[in-house]
Structure 1
Amino acid sequence: MPLIGTLTSGVSALRSFTKGLEVIGNNIANVNTTAYKSNQASFADSFSNTLRGSAPSSATGSNQTATQVGTGVALRGISTNFTQGSVSSSGSTTDLAISGNGYFIVKNPTDGSVYATRAGEFRWDDQGFLVNQEGYRVQGLTGGAGSTSPSVIGDIKLRSQAEISASWATDHATEIAAANLAYDSAQSAADELASISSFGVTAADSSLVLTELNARITAADADVVTAAAAGSAALAIAQAKRDALVSARAAVQTAQLEIKTSAAYVAADAAGKQALLLTGVRTSLSSSSVTAQGGAATAAKAALAAATPSQRSSSSIDESGNVVEFYANGTTATSNQLLLKNFNDQNALMKEGNNLYSGFEAAGAINGTGLTGNDRPNQGGLGKIQSGALELSNVDLTEEFANMITAQRSFQASSRLVTVSDTVLEDIVNLKR
């Protein structure tokens, strides 16, 4: 029945325009949402009932146009307006806005899921990770230190500042070489025989003149005896490498030995001669009077010319995404670099709430779904990063209010269509009375 089709068209219009009003209302509600992208509903006619089909012209007549009656309206789709919103200063260095194309990539540390976002409301957490409001960690190149540039894909994190304690070993060893006093225990003196001759004998009273024999013992060279010097020896210890053994020796000292001998007068016997036997002189050597003193060996710590660990005073993020750390001693280090990801079809991204998007494969992620070194900001078609600022919502309230008025009037007209259809049906029912 034709009136049933009219009622159906009115109902489909009410249903479709309701969705349109929902989209408009959602845009207005997110007018202050960071980096929010407005949506727009589009509509299409529904299936049409064909009363007469079209036909081409022929030799006997002109072409024939089609006669069709529509069955209402349907929601064709909801598209997203990805134009960039205005940028507003926030005053926080970790608030980041993208001027141009690209999305920040964040990862849920709990399940490892990865999302794209334009909302750069980040902060450094208690572990030094750069995270968003949900605690998802910003991704990029890490591992930079000194002259080494960041090169490892991972979570953006400030360099660790763990304190390293230095201490000396609790024991030490001093090697003392055995010292022996070497000398000959006994020396044998050779027997020296001297002949005594008689001089000037007279027939008269005979007298014997004994010429004194001067005998002298030739002293043999004594062995050189080394002895440690008395007193304490100063040890100058310098560490060349770990486990190095440093030995200290006192200077070699020499000692001189003096051997004393004595001479004696010997009388001749009755025969006028005397065998002179010189008994060897024994010299006893003793080390009882040699004293050896040992002192305690001590090791003193040398002053190490090591720099005092410097505390990080601040950090900044430049337009290329480099995280530069500043230290109290005046040094700097580029520890990380944020990366951006762009997509061929942004409308294929799935909104996950909290300003997050998924569906990288469907959207055609450029350079692959994962981050690479080609995803650096400010190059390759990607935008640059502005620190201390946030991208605002791109909702235009004036346009949204105009769209809302249009949608409301369309809904009102559709409701009238239902009312009119109901009135006509009521009149038809009353015809039998």
Structure 2
Amino acid sequence: MDGYYAFMLVATAFVLMMTVPALALFYGGMSRSKSVLNMMMMSFTAAAIVGILYVAIGWSMGFGGDGTFFANPFELPWLDGVTTDSYIGVFFQMTFAVITVALISGALEGRMKFAAWVAFVPVWAVLVYFPMAHMVFSCTDDSLICGRIGAQDYAGGTAVHINAGVAALVLVLLLGKRLNWPKDKMRPHNLTLTMLGAGLLWMGWYGFNVGSIVFSEESLADESVMVEQFLSETGRTFGNTTLATMAAILGWLLVERMMHGKATSLGAASGIVAGLVAITPAAGAVNLSGAVAIGAIAGALCAWAVGWKFRLGYDDSLDVVGVHLVGGVIGTVLIGVFSTAEGAGGVDGLLYGGGVDSLVDQVLGVLVAVVYVGVLTLVIGLAVKFTVGLRLDPEDEVNGIDLAEHGESAYDLHTGIGGGVSSGLAGNAPAKAFPTTTKENQS
């Protein structure tokens, strides 16, 4: 047991690293230079707000007891009644809540008020993520997706990726398009940061997937059986996570080359994330060949799906919908095709003679997640829109959200004001006194 606790401490730290700094770097590099600090701030503030909320009521809502949509938020407030040796599991789940909320921010680059983000995050976490975590991860008899429908989700295809992807799509539609999009290309300003962030996400994802093992009652009663399950299941999830990601890189680059004539570094980084997203729900359910198939399919389809925003006219800035929503649906549904009885769920999918029952369960799980998250996010988004206001002023959007909302510039290239309004470089000058109309600031 001591070894398991040490393992979970490392896994928890790895998953937290996925938000700060990995996601902040990944999204920050894909942002425009005038938006990079705000994008990173959205990840950091999501971590701070959701982390505290999770300890206050989130664990209780997710894992406090029975409930169709959520458990009693006041059964275990501030972990009252939770033994300290259980804190590792609590904080592991907390990191899932943190990254789910932070993932949404990639769709909103450069145009959402920071105050609106700060208002949206806690309400969405309480009304959407904490209940989804209960429905998927708690798996009590009453919990909807896991308990009643019976859909498998090893580490968060529905609760994390479909959840974030649907919320991102709703907010994008409420916010509207960035000024001059899609006429202006709005290319990533620093792909080196993006590649580094993608690599750190891949590394952190081993904590995400491999750390999500749930022990059977038999294992909990017999330590030798527990060790056997631990070694078997962690080996499976580690291998599946690795191969699915590799296959997704190749799938993405192949489609990218066929569609655009180039295989790009941004495509490789995006393929990494697409593969990781798709294997997340299936990591414990499929074998190695199934993981390769899911990764390759996800990489190819997500590469194709990111272009939907141009055809359908929604401005998903950093492709949260095309990668997380589409990848999450692919991975969750394909469990019904590629799962094996030797896996964590003990269910044969369609390809292994299990019939369509598992596939139907997986599709129903996806539909519940999409409807629940879509409706609640719309209500929350409208409430924020008509109170705090969602959209940045057009002039501030042109000059850059970093300067408008934070009084800072990411790079001290021409103006000499790379620090903030309180830094040694900028002194105490007000933000409005800074030069904001050079061509470099417009990019």
TM, length-normalised to structure 1: 0.18
Where is the strand percentage greater, Structure 1 or Structure 2? 1
Greater RCO, 1 or 2 (C-alpha within 8 Å, sep 6+)? 1
TM-score (norm 2): 0.18
Query: Is the helix fraction higher in 1 or 2?
Result: 2
Larger Rg: 1
